Structure formats: C-alpha cells, structure tokens
Amino acid sequence: MTPLALAILSLAAAAPSPAPTRPSETIAIRGGTILTVGPQGTIANGTVLIRDGRIAAVGTDVAVPAGARVIDATGRYVIPGIIDAHSHTAIEGGVNECTNVVTAEVRIADVLDQHDVNIYRQLAGGVTAANVLHGSCNPIGGQNAVIKMRWGTGPSDLVFAGAPPGVKFALGENPKRSNFRVPGTTRYPATRMGVEVVLRDSFRRAQDYKREWEEYDRKLKAAGPKGERPLAPRRDLELDELRDILDGKVYVHAHCYRADEILMLIHLADEFGFKIRTFQHVLEGYKVASEIAKHGAGASTFADFWGYKMEAFDAIPYNAAIMASHGVNVSLNSDDDERARRLYWEAAKAVKYGGVSETEALKMVTLNPAWQLGVDKRVGSIEVGKDADIAIFSAHPFDPATRVEMTLVDGIVYFDRARDDGKATRAAGGAR
Amino acid sequence: MRARPILALMMLAVLVSPRGYAARGEVYALVGGRVFPVSGPPIEKATVVIRDGLIEAVGANVTPPVGARVIDVNGLTVTPGLVDGFGGIGLPAPRPGGGGGAPPSPAANPLAPQALALDRVRLADALKARDSGITTALVIPRDGVLPGQSVLLNLGGEKLEGMVLRQPAALHLHMATLSRTYPGSLMGTVAYARQALYDAARYRDEWKAYETAARGHKRPAYDPALQAWQEVLAGKELLIVTATRENDVRRALALADEFKVRLAVADAPQAARVAELIKTRKLPLLVSVNFDPPRAPTFGRPDDEKEKQDIEEAERNPSELHKAGLSFALVSAFAPDFLAGVRKAIERGLPADAALRAVTLAPAEVLGVADRLGSLEAGKIGNVVVWSGEPLAKDTKAKMVFVDGALYEPDEKPKPSPSPGAPSPSPSPAAEDLR
C-alpha cells in the first residue's frame, strides 16, 4: 500500500460524518385551541412555548419571551404530531427481503430514502413520526425503523433516536404466499401450520444461540484476564435479533388478520416467554380483544378497510372501538402513503362507528401509536418536556373541511402551507 | 531430422509475433511534442525518454541519449497512458439483449468474493483497448453482488501474467440485488455484506487460534469465500463498493467504518449530492462515465422523466464534483465507449485538464499505484501515448502507445471491430512512416 493510500485510509476512518440539522428557535404558538391529548386536556386560546426543540410550557397564561417567533394560531387547532404505526414510506430498493423465510438480519434503517416526497406529503397531513416496517412476505421479516419526518435531512437523521428496535412478523396468507405465487417457485411455508413451525423452529434456534453465548461468557469469565481466551461463537445477525426478542429488548410487530392466528402467536410468545408489542392489521382483533389485552399487546388496525383478500373479510368498522373497550391500546395506521396523509379522518371514523370519545379517537393516531413504538415518553401528546412535534389544523382535526396549516418536528417547521410553493412535490425531493 | 518442423514453427512464431514489442533495453526518445505530464503543467517542445520499460526523463532540455530510437513527434501531444480504473476490458461482452443468439453461458456465482477476474480475461480482447490510448485497466467481474476480485493490468505483452500490476487489486461489492435468491432487496445486500464481514473476522480468529495451538485442537474448515475477505479485513486490499444511488455512498462508508476497511466507491453517478461528505471523509472515487447504463426492467410503466433526470444528473456529476474541489477518477464502468463518456463530461463543464487527470493520475491514486504510473515522471512505468491532437478531443487519435516501454501503433484506418475470439489486428505501419 502506498503512503497516500494509508493516509486516505486513516483520515477516512477518523473523520466524523456531518450532521446537517437546522438550529431550532424559540417558538410560541399562540391563540389556538390546544388538543393536548395529555393531562391538560383541551385548552382554549392557549399557548405552546417551544424551546430547544422541546415543549417548554403549555397553557393559557404562558409568558412569551422576547425574541420568540410567534405563530398565530387564532381559530386553529393545535394537536400533537400524528404517528403512523404502520408505514412503508421512504424505503429504497425493496420493502421485502422475500427470498428467505426468516430475515431478521435485514434493516430498514440501512435503506431509508430521505428524498421520498411522501415524507413531505405526510408532513402536510400532520404526520411527524412513523414506524417504517419491512413487508409481510415472510414469517419473520426485517428490522423496522421508527422515523421522524425530518424532510430535507440525511437518511440517518430521519431515525427517531432512542426508539426501541423491533422486528416485523407476519402470519397468514402473505407469508404462506397464498396470493403471490411465482410460477416455478415454491417456498416453505405454504400453510398457517407451516408459519407456526417456522416461528417455533426459529426461537428454538435462538434459545440454542443464547445458551452458546452464555457458555462463552462463562468460559471467558473463568479464564480471567490472563487465561487463554476461548473462541467466541459465530455472531449471527439474524439470531441476534431473535435472542433479543426473547430477552425483551426488541419489539415484535406482527402482521395478522384472523383470530386463530392471533391466538396462535400469543400462545407461542407465552411459551417462549416474550411479548408481542403490536398486532398489525388485526382485523379480527375484536373477536379476541380480551386475549390481546391480557397479553399486553397493542393493536394497530385500519378504520374501515377490508375485503381485499380472503383473510380480510370477517372485519367490522367497530374493531378499533371494541378492542379499546377491552383495554387494548389501539392505533389506526395507514400502511399506505396516501392514507397516511389523512389519518385524522381515520381517527374520526372511530367516533362515528364505535362511539369513541374525540380525545380517545385522537389518541389512536398520537399517544397510542407512541406507546406502541415505545416513544410515548417523548411524543404523542402536548406536554412540557416532550419533543415539539406538533401539527396545526385549520379546524378541528375531525372536521371534514379541515386541513393542516403547519407541521413542526423537534420545534422546527418542516411544513408551512403558507410557504408551500409546490416545489417539493415537483422536484420529488431531488433538490436540496 | 524430426526436430526440423518444430524449429520451423518456432521461427514462424518469432516472425508473426506482434510487432513493436521492444526487445529489452530498447530506448525511445519522443522529441518535440507538446507534453502533458499531468503531475505538472504542459511542456512545449519537450522530450520524453523511455528506457527499458520505464520513463527515464521528461523535459524541454532533455537530450536524447546515444543509441536511442528518436521519434519526431513535433505537432503531436504526449500524455501518460490512460487508465480505466473500473470496467470490463478484456472480459467477454455481456449477452446482447433481446431474443436469439447463442444460449447464455452459465452465470457466475453472484456471491463469490473468491472469484478472480484474472481467470476470465481474454488477452486479445484486453489489448484492443490500446487503440484508444488505454494502457492500464482495472478489470472487474460485472454481475452479482459479491462478484469477486478485480485485477489491475498493464495492456501490453504476450502473456497475461506479465501484464499484472496488482492481483488481486480489490474486492468488489455491488450494491445490487439478485433475482429470486438472497439477497433480493437492497437491505438484504447490506445485511449480507455485514454478515460476510463478521464471518470473515471469525474465520480469521479461528485459524489464528488453531495456528497458535494446533496440537490438541481440530482444524477449522477451509472456506474460500471467507478466505477471500482476509486481506480486506486486514486493511491491505481495497474494498470497492459500486454505489449507484446517492445513499449507497453513505452505506459504503458505514460498512467501512463498522469493519475498519479501506474503501473506494465506484460508479457514483449521484456523488455530487454528497460532495461535502466525500470531501470530509477523503473518500476515493471512481466516477462512471457510463451515463445511460442499461436499466433493470421494472414492473409497470418506466418513468421516462425520472430516467432523463438521472442521465442529466450523471452527466453533470463530474463537473459538479470538480467544482466542489474533489479529486476523482473517471472510469468506463462498462460503457461501450469510455472516451466518448469522458468527452461528454467535458461538454458538461469538466475542464479538459481535470478530465485528463481523472483518467491518468487520479485512478492511479485511488488504486494505490500513483508511485509507479499515472503521470510522465522519471522512474515511472513507460506507459505513454502520442496523440494526433489535443488529448481527449473528439477527432484525436492515439498514434503511438507505449506500454511498459514497448511501442504499439494502432491502425490508421478504422476497420470493423473483429468478432469475439478473432485474432488481434495485424501489425500497423512503423513509426518511421510518421515522420
């Protein structure tokens, strides 16, 4: 190697990567109706004070410091940023790693596309965070990425730092390839029984893997600092995740439809001693709501979208309300870049069909999905100390004529209808 | 008596061997040309002396040594031999699209870091590149995700072995996907590479432990794929990541950081978007001039507008990188006409001197051989091209090409390109005819 190449190497390894974040200013959103979704309830003619990207004060008697940027929200509604618990937005080079039955080693965070214009479009729908999931092609898919809609930053800047990691599971027709047969190819499993076997086999392998590493740790300790170091077991990035699921360090977001498969997964998780964090789609969740609640899982469903395949027929628009009434943490998700722009109307449907209170319905697209993603201490409601992820609506978010006027993430305005010139959509995110 | 036919054959072989391969010790003096050393400014009416395969002297006040074959290149230009720092020179051409034709040959293993491009190079095909003034080429297995290791060749000589500048030159990772087999997605490709590097590191440790204390231990199994990674892991061999998308550059950097390997990025048609990052990280770049590569078939209607934008962005990419103050190589990246691509980059704003550097000294720097080639400096390998006019200009032709100090003269008249496997072009007019 030449000295030049060596120099290039050492510099390349040492230099930090730049972090292009904009400074956040002190902002006072004044005069609006604040739907905090938190302990402060609804505040008429209130002020939200934002400092250093966090919510510094909320109320009717908040002093606005000199020099603060004042956003007049008179006649408008101020709500916590909407959180989409099931999204496939901003992914480059494929949503599914479909070729293997278990692909827990693949990471959505590796392939985020910060130029996807849907980030901007979702900001225009008040969305500030999303659970970007691997597809449902295999029983155990890849690792999800919880992102914030920081439009115009780099791919790693999208990642919601501190959000717990998770892995996508899938049950039923998609992993058994009922509706996606490619001529000349077969892939195990082809039945729901097979899906269960794949899961059970995988966690048995994970248990063996865990034991192998524990044995190694014991040997390492016994050898002491001066003894002969034992050879470490092979690090398997797939089994790493499954072991971490067993240890409760990694969430499971399980795509499912039918009541029987939901119960199957609860039993299997109980057998192996781990928890399902969310059941996704879960259209027959209303049939097994108590069991879901008892397991402690959340449920993320559609408001009124079904019938698009056999396993999605026995569905009702009361699903969200019924599950919530049994004590399940329920969210309403998009699974779709278009639906993601109007999740507030999906929430409104829970009021219409299930008689859910407006606040509880709004929680289904804010605080509840925040809990499902393990970030409810940070976002999901307008409370002092939380991240300043906020959407300002022209009218109540359930008003059929409402629209989003402004969206902030970390106290930075990423969408402002008054300043939208259509460029972002035209350029589809290519320009900086 | 029985030896006579063999002797006759040997004599015949001597007679028909390609002309111009200098006997060892031959000395050339190229006198009176406009010389572009690349390592410094152009020199008018200069002399370049090539002795025994190496450049001996370059300058305006150099006197041709006694016994040198003096070639008057007055009115002509002289540059270092061009380097294609990333391409398929000498490899069998990819199958033409569409139906018909010969049945496809069995596909190479797309996940074989141990595969060697050297094993697949066809000597006669490789040497044809000299007609365009290319004297050095990094030859890369084109298809797959981990397609193997490239070889850096000097395009002169009669045996492949004698042409090798570095073998293996680099291990390659294409940020691509496979059809119906893992990895079938970009995230799968990243995960596959990450796992491969973890496995390679453990393989190293396994063998190290065994070599330290073989007695009483079972020997580990040999694995050619994991063995192939070892020099990369040790920081001795370059890892070249083919980065087609903007974020592939970031993905490559993240992988290199995680495993502390030497990295260069190739293709990089959107590199100008991350110019600051590349500058900060001093990332060596092999920038493609294959501005309109064949696209993978997509489901549904192709997005023509997007494709047009991508091509225009790729064409402006070299000049934008240059404006950002970056040094980079321009490479063919399997383009059918390398120099036409370089000219396109110049048309789109890349200064000609920067372009010349990008196809000579810059690739030599990226590939770690700038101490021995890439510029006209005393002591460097005798790779020199005499051009009919301004280097890289449209109508300029390579009139004399020296590789390892041996003279080769491309044909004056263009002729139909020979079919694959056909013999090399017949000898061309002698240098004396040019005077």
Domains assigned to chain B = 17-79+394-434 (2.30.40.10), 82-373 (3.20.20.140)
Decide if pLDDT at B7 tops 90: no
Q: Which helix (H) or strand (E) holds B5?
A: helix B3-16
Asked if the structure places residue A403 within a domain, the reply is: no
pLDDT band at B104 (very low <50, low <70, confident <90, very high): very low
Decide if pLDDT at B264 tops 60: yes
Here the CATH number for the domain that contains residue A148 is: 3.20.20.140
Q: What is the model's pLDDT at position B353? A: 98
Each residue of B333-377: pLDDT tens digit? 999 999 999 999 999 999 999 999 999 999 999 999 999 999 999
List CB contacts (< 8 A) between B299 and chain A.
none
By three-state DSSP, how is residue A211 classified? helix
Q: What is the model's pLDDT at position B226? A: 98
Asked if the structure places residue A410 within a domain, the reply is: no
Each residue of B113-157: pLDDT tens digit? 999 999 999 999 999 999 999 999 999 998 999 999 999 999 999
* Shortest Cα distance, chain A CAs vs residue B226, angstroms: 13
Average pLDDT on B246-265 reads 98
Optimal mutation site among A2, A167, A185, interface B, most CBs of chain B within 10 A: A2
pLDDT band at B269 (very low <50, low <70, confident <90, very high): very high
Asked if the structure places residue A418 within a domain, the reply is: no
A155 interface with B at CB cutoff 8 Å: yes
User: Predicted ipTM?
Assistant: 0.92
Cα separation, B157 vs B55, in Å, equals 17
Each residue of A148-172: pLDDT tens digit? 999 999 999 999 999 999 999 999 9
Residue partners of A357: CB distance under 8 A and separation at least 6:
A351
Do residues B108 and B119 touch, judged by C-beta distance below 8 A? no
Average pLDDT on A171-187 reads 83
List CB contacts (< 8 A) between B362 and chain A.
none
The amino acid occupying position A259 is A
- Bridge partners (DSSP) of residue B137 are B84, B153
Decide if pLDDT at A93 tops 60: yes
Average pLDDT on B252-267 reads 98
* Nearest-by-Cβ selection for A99 from B181, B198, B283: B181
Q: Which domain holds residue A247?
A: 81-377
Optimal mutation site among A9, A88, A180, interface B, most CBs of chain B within 10 A: A9
Do residues B381 and B99 touch, judged by C-beta distance below 8 A? no
Each residue of B17-45: pLDDT tens digit? 444 444 457 999 999 999 999 999 999 99
Q: Could you give the percent of chain B with pLDDT greater than 70?
A: 84
Using the beta-carbon criterion (under 8 Å), do A9 and B235 form an inter-chain contact?
yes
Each residue of A216-264: pLDDT tens digit? 999 999 998 888 889 999 999 999 999 999 999 999 999 999 999 999 9
* Domains in chain A, number: 1
Asked if the structure places residue A49 within a domain, the reply is: no
Nearest Cα neighbor of A256 from A340, A217, A204, A199 is A199
Decide if pLDDT at B216 tops 70: yes
- Strand pairing category for B77-80 and A140-143: unpaired
Each residue of A281-295: pLDDT tens digit? 999 999 999 999 999
Q: What is the model's pLDDT at position A106? A: 98
Q: What is the model's pLDDT at position B295? A: 78
Nearest CA in chain B to A92: B186
**For helices B304-323 and B338-347, what crossing angle results, to 10°?**
80
pLDDT band at A333 (very low <50, low <70, confident <90, very high): very high
* Shortest Cα distance, chain B CAs vs residue A385, angstroms: 33
**CB-count exposure of residue B279 (10 Å: 0-12, 13-18, 19+):** middle
Using the beta-carbon criterion (under 8 Å), do B281 and A15 form an inter-chain contact?
yes
Decide if pLDDT at B434 tops 80: no
Decide if pLDDT at B429 tops 50: no
Asked if the structure places residue A12 within a domain, the reply is: no
Asked if the structure places residue A197 within a domain, the reply is: yes
- Bridge partners (DSSP) of residue A77 are A33, A393
B202 interface with A at CB cutoff 8 Å: yes
- Rounded mean pLDDT of chain B? 88
Decide if pLDDT at B9 tops 70: no
B96-118 CB burial, b ≥16 within 10 A, e <16:
eeeeeeeeeeeeeebbbbbbbbb
By three-state DSSP, how is residue A121 classified? helix
- Bridge partners (DSSP) of residue A197 are none
Average pLDDT on B273-278 reads 97
Chain A from 75 to 94: CB within 8 A of any B CB? 92-94
Do residues A347 and A364 touch, judged by C-beta distance below 8 A? yes
- Rounded mean pLDDT of chain A? 92
**Angle CA(A325)–CA(A330)–CA(A336) in degrees, nearest 5?**
140
Decide if pLDDT at B428 tops 70: no
* Nearest-by-Cβ selection for B177 from A93, A103, A234: A93
Each residue of A2-54: pLDDT tens digit? 444 444 443 333 333 333 345 679 999 999 999 999 999 999 999 999 999 99
Cite the DSSP H helix spans in A143-250. Answer: 155-158, 192-223, 237-246
Decide if pLDDT at B15 tops 80: no
Decide if pLDDT at A338 tops 80: yes
pTM: 0.90
Asked if the structure places residue A88 within a domain, the reply is: yes
Asked if the structure places residue A38 within a domain, the reply is: no
B279 interface with A at CB cutoff 8 Å: no
Ranges of beta strands (E only) in B23-99 are 27-35, 43-51, 54-59, 69-72, 77-80, 82-87
List CB contacts (< 8 A) between A219 and chain B.
none
